[in-house]
Structure 1
Amino acid sequence: MSAQAVSAAAPLAGKKTARKGLFAAKAGRKSSRNPMDQLSAGEKVFNVCNTIFMLFMAFICFYPFWYIFVNTISNNKMSADGEILFWPKGIHFDNYRTIFELPGIAHATLVSVLRTVIGTVLCVAVSAFLGFMMTQVKMAHRQFVYRFFVATMYVNAGLIPGYLLFNYLGLLDNFLVYVIPGAVSAFNIVLVKTYVESSIPQSLQEAAEIDGAGTWTVFFKIALPLMGPILATLAIFSAVGQWNSFMDTVLYVTDDKLQTLQYVLYRYLSQAQAMANIMAQSGGDASSMAATGVTAQSVKLTVTMVTVLPIFIVYPFMQKYFVKGITIGAVKG
């Protein structure tokens, strides 16, 4: 073969070799896309055991709610005898229907919904603004005010001074006693402050101030739109607390028109046997009562489910914001 032929064939051979190397690299990348292929046998065993353990823990957390629910819609006599464990039997919804027909339940539900909505909105708004202000260096005595808020997490005047203060402010037997005391939360302020310092660049505020924006403009148009995760976290905290609270009704409210659903159901729960007798006497014909068999246990389980179900339904939709907000708001990067 001549020297010219050899010199002409050399680039072609080089191109073929390069193509083979490229195809081999692509095949290697494709085969390594599955992370499981890169794990050792011990790591694979650990992942399997870890998954089984997590599923078991999830089952332990979920099963109590499932157990209560299936017992509330099952035959009450079978439930009282302990025959309902995983699946409902003799399905009916008379327990829920009868619970909501009890005197005062409808109005108490309205009061609870109003206090939850208004209290949550007020708490989130106040906490967001105060937390934002604690990050403003130009605010006078900022460190003192922040430490004053934090000190309230550890120092409490007590029940009697709190009662006297609410009496002096005219909050006894007043709907505002449900929303005003919880509007300012030191814990929420700490979360918002840390979130703003960790997630919102100071340069955004400085650029807005150069363009003539004031504190309110910076808060509403720059900081607030970027606080979605932490605001969702605060909303979850506040809504759960407002919905489940009943001690403030016990301590500060005597007016029947201001009693919350949780307090009314708590009162019924403590008198479950008496309520079962009332429900049995006021509900349906004999055949219907024989089928449903209202018992003290059915009253307790149904009351428990009514108080838990609203939050149980809402929480999954807020979980992704909750996790992000609590992690970013709790640790300063």
Structure 2
Amino acid sequence: MKKKKISLGDWIFNIFLGLFFTLFTLICIYPFYYLIINTISANDISANGQIMFLPKGIHFQNYIDVFKIPDLASAALVSLGRTVLGTIGAVLGAAYLGFMFTQQKMWARKFWYRFTIITMYFNAGLIPWYITMRNLHLTNNFLAYILPAIVQPFNIILVKTYMESISPALQEAAEIDGASVMKVFMKIMLPLAKPIMATIAIFAAVGQWNSFQDTLILMTKPALYTLQFLLYQYINQASSLAAMIKNGTVISTSSLATMQTPTSIRMTVSVVVILPILLVYPFFQKYFVKGIMIGSVKG
């Protein structure tokens, strides 16, 4: 087979394209790299903004201090539990409702769909939400992390749009063979909807993992504190640490390299929070791209 000769213009274009995407990749990676090198560099140097490309005075005391936070293990388990269970609930809830809203024979289908979607644009506000959660006995209750996340209008729109792109002939053939609506959903639609479900799983997992405001408002029991809320409290110590250094409480020059600063605390906490999601995302990436593209065709 004769190879196609590449013209000089195409050759130059390919080189330019390769350089452009290489530069773009480096720009995207650099913020994470910047965080990491600052967390392992001498804290006094990092606080002055002198760490840009290479770490200086390498140490790991920042991470040691973070992992010494009391109740960190239990908070991590709470965050992990809410992330796993909340993601499963959000995916199944969106998949089921999205599927049902495509069924023409569903009673008052348009009304219930619009009634659900309108909640994207209007809400009662923080105080009525808190009163509702309290009346439902969801304060100091782990279910407060799970139940509100099951019905998410945006996710429902994505699933509904995706399932409408699947040929209705599949469901018709299954119903002719005697399959019920639930069996069609479980045996046909769910397997075909893997890309959009992976997309929703990423959205839900990131939201659940990063959330701390519901803990701040609803939880007073330390046993129900999430990792993010615990680290949020730790970040708030940055101002007191800065004041301590400023007032001369810490006077040993050698200890300044590992002494916590507002910068070191914020960056170390950012790495601890971001890293789990960064490790999970590559496994869902191929589904995420396909799902979000198909789900965005129409609404």
TM-score of the pair, normalised by structure 1: 0.81
Q: Residues 302 and 143 (structure 1 numbering): CA distance in 2 closer, same or farther, change over 3 Å? A: same
- CA deviation string 1:114-168 (max 9, x = no partner): 1111100111011101101111111111111111111111111111111111111
Is residue 328 from structure 1 mapped to residue 284 from structure 2 by the alignment? no
Out of 319-328 and 44-53, give the one that drifted further: 44-53
Out of 159-168 and 81-90, give the one that drifted further: 81-90
Matching of residues 62-211 of structure 1 within 5 Å = 62-198=29-165, 200-211=166-177
Mapped to 1, the partners of 2:50 and 2:125 lie a distance apart of 47
**Alpha-carbon offset, residue 313 of structure 1:** 1.5
The residue aligned with 2:267 is: 301
Mapped to 1, the partners of 2:130 and 2:208 lie a distance apart of 19
- CA deviation string 1:281-310 (max 9, x = no partner): xxxxx9995763433322221111111111
The residue aligned with 2:247 is: none
Q: Which structure has the greater CA radius of gyration?
A: 1
State the AA in 2 paired with 1:115: R
**Alpha-carbon offset, residue 50 of structure 1:** 4.0
Verify the 8 A CA contact 1:197 1:332 in the aligned structure 2. Answer: no
The residue aligned with 2:258 is: 292
The residue aligned with 2:249 is: none
Is residue 57 from structure 1 mapped to residue 24 from structure 2 by the alignment? yes
Mapped to 2, the partners of 1:162 and 1:40 lie a distance apart of 64
The residue aligned with 1:10 is: none
**Alpha-carbon offset, residue 257 of structure 1:** 1.5
State the AA in 1 paired with 2:39: T
Mapped to 2, the partners of 1:46 and 1:148 lie a distance apart of 51
Out of 103-112 and 84-93, give the one that drifted further: 84-93
Is residue 31 from structure 1 mapped to residue 36 from structure 2 by the alignment? no
Give 5+ residue unaligned stretches, structure 1.
1-25, 279-285
Verify the 8 A CA contact 2:43 2:256 in the aligned structure 1. Answer: no
Mapped to 2, the partners of 1:161 and 1:122 lie a distance apart of 24
Mapped to 1, the partners of 2:63 and 2:31 lie a distance apart of 19
Verify the 8 A CA contact 2:119 2:153 in the aligned structure 1. Answer: yes
Mapped to 2, the partners of 1:59 and 1:253 lie a distance apart of 41
Verify the 8 A CA contact 2:95 2:197 in the aligned structure 1. Answer: yes
State the AA in 1 paired with 2:210: N
**Alpha-carbon offset, residue 107 of structure 1:** 1.5
Verify the 8 A CA contact 1:74 1:92 in the aligned structure 2. Answer: yes
**Alpha-carbon offset, residue 273 of structure 1:** 4.6
The residue aligned with 2:204 is: 238
Verify the 8 A CA contact 1:275 1:299 in the aligned structure 2. Answer: no
- CA deviation string 1:149-205 (max 9, x = no partner): 11111111111111111111111111111111111001000100110111x211111
TM-score of the pair, normalised by structure 2: 0.90
Which of 211, 222, 225 pairs up with 1:256?
222
Q: Using CA pairs below 8 Å that are at least 6 residues apart, which structure has the higher relative contact order?
A: 2
Q: Percent identity?
A: 54
Give 5+ residue unaligned stretches, structure 2.
245-251
State the AA in 2 paired with 1:217: K
The residue aligned with 1:227 is: 193
Out of 87-96 and 315-324, give the one that drifted further: 87-96
Q: Residues 271 and 298 (structure 1 numbering): CA distance in 2 closer, same or farther, change over 3 Å? A: same
Q: Residues 95 and 276 (structure 1 numbering): CA distance in 2 closer, same or farther, change over 3 Å? A: farther
Verify the 8 A CA contact 1:194 1:330 in the aligned structure 2. Answer: yes
State the AA in 2 paired with 1:101: K
Total equivalences in the alignment: 292
Verify the 8 A CA contact 1:268 1:275 in the aligned structure 2. Answer: no
Verify the 8 A CA contact 1:127 1:192 in the aligned structure 2. Answer: yes
